[in-house]
């Protein structure tokens, strides 16, 4: 039996992971499941999968979780330290699917105990790429990408020499507002930004897809994970979301990964790696699809991509600044405090302010410095938004 833990089990990726694991009950021994506020779902899955422990991120919800697990034999715990302890419990395979920078410390704990870490939490690589890779290396742990584009690139590189790679192209659907007039973006509502044309995902990444902050994070994630230069990575708008990424080799060949927009493919690939097994995803009928479309992303529509390029050029802790400011701006957009297009303005202001205090971004990268930088970026994002109000 393979021992597995799922961090962020109650979310979109977590639930898709559970869907796959629950199909083979004899094969998996579930160690830990973690969630946030969705106590009922967490307890239901922990009971059903006979987990050793269920953890909520919120200490004030511990009593609710205990009550929901009463008589089940599943232990209950709560709070950020308990998340790290759950991730540190010996397991063979750990899904990192907490949303946001909160996923970094538990993911590192999973790597430190030598587990294979299936990484959906892109923020870990954006905030602390070098630290994550070094932790994996130092503990002999494997890191497998789950973000669909990165899983696609990973698959395109099997049996290939990374030195033969000329470029990596990740696709973007263009999000909810791809075809909106630019002038309408400033007044886009939360409901409008929360619907994705092709993928069914958590609310935060769906809004990030509309603004292309998601693709911006993925540019940085690509650079960190595959160790290529920023100049080698391209973004192409592909409205059908059927090609997830392409790898371009020095002989001019482009290898494309094509599949339906269903995260169970990338999750299942990471779960079964290095084997390929049957997965319950739709099979594409290419004759019926008949055509695929591509266009260059519009810089005016998607300023997040330009900011990501600046972050990749800057290096150091600028990824943690970028992500922390973005998370805070997204919180404010969701709360109705700032407009859709203001998110990028706020993030750029925070990056500029850090640049004027360059020492912060040039500190050595440790979990402590990344966490401090993340907090300061959020504080400065709040200050930037207060000035605008």
Which residues belong to the annotated binding site for NADPH? 10-13, 36, 38, 121, 123, 202
User: Residue 55's closest CA among 86, 22, 15?
Assistant: 86
Q: For residue 279, give Cα distances in angstroms to 202, 212, 260.
A: 22, 29, 12
Helix or strand or coil: residue 101?
helix
Distance in Å, CB of 49 to ligand NDP, minimum: 15
Identity of the residue, 145 or 303, whose beta carbon is nearer to Mg ion in the bound complex: 145
Among 52, 147, 224, 327, binds Mg ion (CB under 5 A): 147
Shortest Cβ 65–ligand NDP spacing (Å) = 11
**What is the nearest approach in angstroms of Mg ion to the Cβ of residue 25?**
29
CB 247 within 8 A of CB 118: no
Q: Is 208 in the site for Mg ion (CB under 5 A)?
A: no
* Binding-site partner at residue 33 among Mg ion, ligand NDP, none, CB < 5 to 8 Å by type: none
Q: Which is nearer to Mg ion, 195 or 371 (CB)?
A: 195
By CB under 6 A, name the binding residues for ligand NDP. Answer: 8-14, 35-38, 57, 83, 97-99, 102, 120-123, 147, 199, 201-202, 204-205, 263
Binding site partner of 201, from Mg ion, ligand NDP, none, Cβ cut-off 5-8 A by kind: ligand NDP
Q: Is-contact 122 129, C-beta < 8 A?
A: no
| Minimum CB–partner distance for residue 72 and ligand NDP (Å) | 18
Q: Which stretch binds Mg ion (CB under 5 A): 30-38, 143-151, 280-288, 291-299?
A: 143-151
Residue 305 binds which one of Mg ion, ligand NDP, none, with CB within 5 to 8 A depending on kind?
A: none
**Least distance to ligand NDP from the beta carbon of 19, Å?**
13
- What's the angle, vertex CA 121, arms to CA 119 and CA 126, rounded to 5? 105
Residue 96 contacts by C-beta under 8 Å, 6 or more apart in sequence?
Answer: 7, 8, 103, 106, 107, 110, 117, 118, 119, 120, 121, 124, 146
Contact 96, 128 (CB under 8 A): no
Sign of the torsion angle spanned by Cα atoms 65, 67, 72, 74:
positive
Element housing 244 (H / E): strand 243-249
| From Mg ion, ligand NDP, none, interface partner of 61 (C-beta below 5 to 8 A by class) | none
Minimum CB distance to Mg ion, residue 54 (Å): 28
H helix runs in 273-302, sequence order: 286-289
Quote the least distance from Cβ 263 to ligand NDP, whole Å.
4
Interacting span for Mg ion (CB under 5 A) from 141-149, 259-267, 318-326, 350-358: 141-149
Residue nearest to ligand NDP (CB): 11
What phi and psi, each to the nearest 5 degrees, are found at residue 143?
-115, 120
Please report, in range form, the residues annotated as the binding site: 10-13, 36, 38, 121-123, 147-149, 173, 196, 202, 209, 214-215, 218
Alpha-carbon dihedral angle through residues 306, 372, 221, 14, given to the nearest 10 degrees? -120
How many residues make up the chain in this entry? 389
- Distances, alpha carbon 56 to alpha carbons 10, 81, 110, 279, 318, in Å: 10, 11, 17, 30, 30
Instruction: Report the interface residues with Mg ion, using CB under 5 A.
Output: 147-149
């Amino acid at each position: 039996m393979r021992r597995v833990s799922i961090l962020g089990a109650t979310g979109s990726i977590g639930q898709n992971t559970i869907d796959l694991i629950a199909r083979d009950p004899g094969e998996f021994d579930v160690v830990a499941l973690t969630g946030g506020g969705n106590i009922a779902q967490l307890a239901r899955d922990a009971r059903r999968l006979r987990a050793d422990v269920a953890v909520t991120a919120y200490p004030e919800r511990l009593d609710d979780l205990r009550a929901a697990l009463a008589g089940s034999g599943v232990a209950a715990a709560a709070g950020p330290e308990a998340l790290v302890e759950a991730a540190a419990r010996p397991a063979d395979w750990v899904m990192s699917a907490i949303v946001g920078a909160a996923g970094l410390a538990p993911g590192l704990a999973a790597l430190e105990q030598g587990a294979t870490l299936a990484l959906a939490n892109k923020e870990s690589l954006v905030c602390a790429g070098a630290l994550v890779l070094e932790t994996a290396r130092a503990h002999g742990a494997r890191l497998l990408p789950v973000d669909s584009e990165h899983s696609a690139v990973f698959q395109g590189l099997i049996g290939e020499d990374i030195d033969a790679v000329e470029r990596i192209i990740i696709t973007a659907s263009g999000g909810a507002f791809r075809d909106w007039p630019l002038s309408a973006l400033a007044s886009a509502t939360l409901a409008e930004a929360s619907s994705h044309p092709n993928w069914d995902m958590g609310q935060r990444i769906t809004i990030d897809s509309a603004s292309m902050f998601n693709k911006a994070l993925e540019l940085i994630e690509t650079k960190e994970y595959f160790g290529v230069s920023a100049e080698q990575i391209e973004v192409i708008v592909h409205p059908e979301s059927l090609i997830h990424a392409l790898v371009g080799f020095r002989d001019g060949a482009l290898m494309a990964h094509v599949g339906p927009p269903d995260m169970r493919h990338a999750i299942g690939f990471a779960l079964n790696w290095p084997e390929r097994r049957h997965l319950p995803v739709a099979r594409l009928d290419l004759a019926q699809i008949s055509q695929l479309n591509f266009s260059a992303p519009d810089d005016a529509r998607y300023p997040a991509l330009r900011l990501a390029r600046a972050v990749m050029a800057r290096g150091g802790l600028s990824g943690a600044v970028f992500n922390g400011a973005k998370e805070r701006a997204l919180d404010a957009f969701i709360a109705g405090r700032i407009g859709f297009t203001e998110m990028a303005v706020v993030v750029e202001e925070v990056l500029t302010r850090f640049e004027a205090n360059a020492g912060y971004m040039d500190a050595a990268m440790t979990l402590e410095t990344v966490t401090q930088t993340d907090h300061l970026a959020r504080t400065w994002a709040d200050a930037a938004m207060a000035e605008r109000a």
